[in-house]
């Protein structure tokens, strides 16, 4: 009996151990289409054997897998084409699995081995990204992590994307980022199954791509006076200030980045933003302008040169537009598009078209003559004339034409695709007209916006919290889903001075958009997603990638209660306590906990807050001046 009891105890202990091993939450971003967790765990052996197709399209996937497995574990990795007892098997189907398409995969983690099966190499790449997320967070370490149990839960996953266009836009014009920084950006986005890098290469603040037909675009157009502070409020550059800020990519650089992205199954969409946002081009070649005196223009360094007080489009104080009535402009664009089309294999070229001021056109005799000749009645029709001619140029290079939703105004070019950024209206309208649409509305997808309260975040003109980004639905009510080819997030760089802040603005909202464009709509769950984000924060800590902790910070609502300020507080994620003080001291878990609306003491000047989970501080210490809240509430002092 004693032996039987002892065996029973051992058995129960073993079952308990398995339960413990599988209790770590699975935190895959973006959420797979289907996942079943099975009993048991897979333990990584100290010598890892990997069977994989021997072909160039799989090489980078294998290189990434080997690097990630060896750097953190210190284990040995061996590759082979046919390895029956391999630890990890990457398999390409000989007969296509219709359910998973070109980018999908099936991942099966068993106690003895791991198998990833796909129709195409892209699917193997994405399957590997998921596998790495199943391993302990320490797999992200760049150095060997001792005492880690390298195991993964046994799961069966079937996964494939909801949309074929899963994009991130990175503006390298307002502030230049090096070739290596661009590659790092592509690395990070590919890990979360983005497949489209929208490269915003030209704007008022810099022309970043070498065009051999027009060398001044990078000799002059890529450089400005260095300024630091709040972009758009800088003082006017002086004539003798050195123009040392900027840079550009040679055509060889571009080719290198395109190949780097291709190896990670990322397409690159180039953008040349015209006819507005063209000061860098005009400063380089003034005869592209309608306006006398353009030869005195310089590349914008961040000084104010647009009047936005009347809304969009703005009133230009300097003419930053190419001239639709100037035939030299179309010769210029033809040569530029010839070189861009030869460089970029992706089917689309993005031509901008947004925020084009028209007040200088209104004063131009050349524009008036064009309107009379072509029967154009409005300035919007003038821009439409320009866009239709540009579409003909782009299509003559074998490419498809895409622009921001302003290209709808005055009549859409016949075959144009629309990227809808001013909310969803433009995308809905374009889809009804049977044009392809990429949804990228400011409401959810503008990652240059502040992520929390402006009292603590680097200041820009709007706020977009993580939870709001997670509400992004690329097919809004009223849109014809057949024409919505995908969605993307945009990261404009007016206030991005370095790569660390770029990362801060990109993550975790980039996680949210990734899930919105990959995962089935019905699989999205905010509380589950927020918990996964916290696990990915741990990964980024080990990988030394910066992110914003703004989701831990309280949300302020200032209320005018009959002339008295009341303050309501909330948290974006569940399970947090807010502790506060009005006496200028720094609160911790022993200070009052927020439970109901606060009325500040009569002479108090500062509200300080911090969020806790249990007895552990999790948010940032925030000092909120009460006069700021009074102003928001409309309470007079």
Distance of CA 260 to CAs 103, 182, 184, 189, 605, Å?
18, 10, 10, 13, 54
Tokens found for residue 594: 């927020």
Tokens found for residue 296: 């005195």
Q: Are strands 34-43 and 151-159 parallel, antiparallel or unpaired?
A: antiparallel
Catalytic residue among 205, 355, 405, 429: 355
151, β-bridge pairs: 43
Q: Dihedrals φ, ψ of 499, to 5°?
A: -70, -30
612, β-bridge pairs: 577, 617
Active site residue 553: no
For the residues of 305-367, what is the DSSP string, one character each?
Answer: -EE-TT-SSPEESS-----TT-HHHHHHHHHHHHHHHHH--SSEEEEE--S---HHHHT-HHH
Catalytic residue among 277, 435, 536, 579: 277
CA distance 605 to 624: 9
Residue with tokens 């022309």: 207
116, β-bridge pairs: 90, 107
Burial-class residue 501 by CB neighbours within 10 Å (0-12, 13-18, 19+): middle
| Nearest alpha carbon to residue 557 among 443, 633, 450, 623 | 633
Distance of CA 207 to CAs 248, 251, 356, 448, Å?
7, 13, 17, 20
Active site residue 494: no
Angle at 410 between CA 407 and CA 415, to 5 degrees: 50
Active site residue 355: yes
CA distance 532 to 134: 12
Catalytic residue among 203, 298, 406, 494: 203
Active site residues: 203, 277, 355
């Amino acid at each position: 009996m004693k032996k039987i009891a002892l065996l029973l105890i051992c058995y129960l202990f073993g079952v308990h151990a398995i339960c413990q091993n599988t209790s770590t939450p699975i935190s895959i971003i973006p959420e797979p289409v289907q996942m079943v967790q099975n009993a048991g765990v897979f333990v990584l052996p100290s010598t890892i054997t990997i069977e994989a197709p021997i072909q160039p399209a799989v090489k980078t996937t294998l290189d990434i897998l080997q690097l990630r497995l060896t750097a953190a574990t210190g284990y040995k990795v061996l590759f082979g084409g046919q390895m029956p007892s391999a630890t990890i098997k990457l398999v390409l189907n000989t007969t296509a699995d219709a359910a998973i398409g070109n980018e999908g995969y099936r991942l099966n983690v068993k106690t003895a081995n791991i198998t990833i099966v796909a129709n195409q190499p892209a699917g193997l790449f994405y399957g590997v990204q998921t596998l790495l997320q199943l391993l302990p967070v320490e797999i992200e370490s760049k150095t060997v992590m001792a005492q880690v149990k390298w195991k993964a839960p046994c799961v069966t996953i079937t996964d494939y994307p909801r949309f074929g266009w899963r994009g991130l836009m990175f503006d390298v014009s307002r502030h230049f980022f090096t070739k290596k920084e661009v590659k790092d950006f592509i690395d990070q986005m590919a890990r979360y199954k983005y497949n489209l890098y929208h490269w915003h290469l030209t704007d008022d603040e810099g022309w970043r791509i070498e065009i051999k037909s027009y060398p001044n675009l990078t000799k002059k157009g890529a450089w400005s006076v260095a300024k630091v502070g709040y972009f758009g409020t800088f003082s006017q550059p002086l004539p003798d200030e050195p123009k040392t800020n900027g840079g550009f990519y040679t055509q060889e650089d571009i080719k290198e980045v395109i190949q780097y992205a291709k190896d990670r199954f990322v397409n690159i969409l180039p953008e040349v933003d015209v006819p507005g946002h063209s000061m860098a081009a005009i400063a380089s070649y003034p005869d592209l302008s309608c306006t006398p005196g353009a030869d005195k223009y310089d590349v914008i360094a961040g000084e104010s040169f647009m009047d936005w007080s009347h809304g969009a489009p703005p009133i230009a104080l300097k003419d930053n537009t190419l001239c639709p009535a100037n035939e030299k402009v179309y010769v210029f664009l033809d040569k530029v598009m010839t070189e861009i089309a030869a460089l970029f294999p992706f089917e689309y070229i993005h031509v901008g078209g947004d925020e084009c001021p028209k007040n200088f056109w209104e004063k131009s005799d050349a524009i008036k003559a064009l309107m009379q000749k072509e029967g154009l009645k409005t300035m919007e029709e003038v821009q439409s004339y320009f866009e239709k001619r540009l579409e003909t140029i782009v299509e003559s290079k074998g490419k498809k034409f895409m622009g921001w939703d302003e290209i709808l105004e005055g009549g859409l070019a016949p075959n144009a695709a629309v990227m809808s950024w001013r909310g969803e209206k433009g995308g809905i309208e374009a889809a009804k007209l049977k044009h392809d649409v990429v949804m990228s509305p400011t409401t959810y997808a503008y990652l240059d916006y502040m992520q929390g309260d402006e009292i603590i975040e680097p200041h820009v003109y709007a706020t977009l919290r993580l939870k709001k980004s997670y509400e992004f639905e690329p097919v809004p009510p009223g849109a014809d889903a057949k024409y919505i080819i995908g969605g993307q997030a945009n990261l404009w760089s007016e206030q991005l001075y370095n790569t660390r802040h770029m990362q801060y603005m990109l993550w975790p909202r980039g996680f949210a958009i990734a899930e919105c464009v990959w995962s089935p709509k019905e699989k999205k769950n905010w509380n589950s997603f927020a918990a996964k984000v916290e696990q990915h924060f741990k990964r980024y800590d080990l990988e030394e990638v910066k992110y914003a902790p703004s989701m831990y910070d309280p949300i302020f609502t200032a209320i005018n209660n009959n002339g008295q300020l009341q303050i309501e507080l909330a948290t974006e994620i569940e399970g947090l306590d807010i502790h506060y003080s009005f006496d200028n001291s720094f609160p911790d878990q022993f200070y009052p906990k927020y439970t109901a609306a606060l009325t500040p003491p009569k002479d108090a000047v500062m509200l300080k807050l911090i969020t806790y989970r249990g007895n552990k501080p999790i948010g940032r210490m925030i000092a909120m001046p009460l006069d700021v809240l009074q102003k928001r509430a409309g309470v007079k002092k």
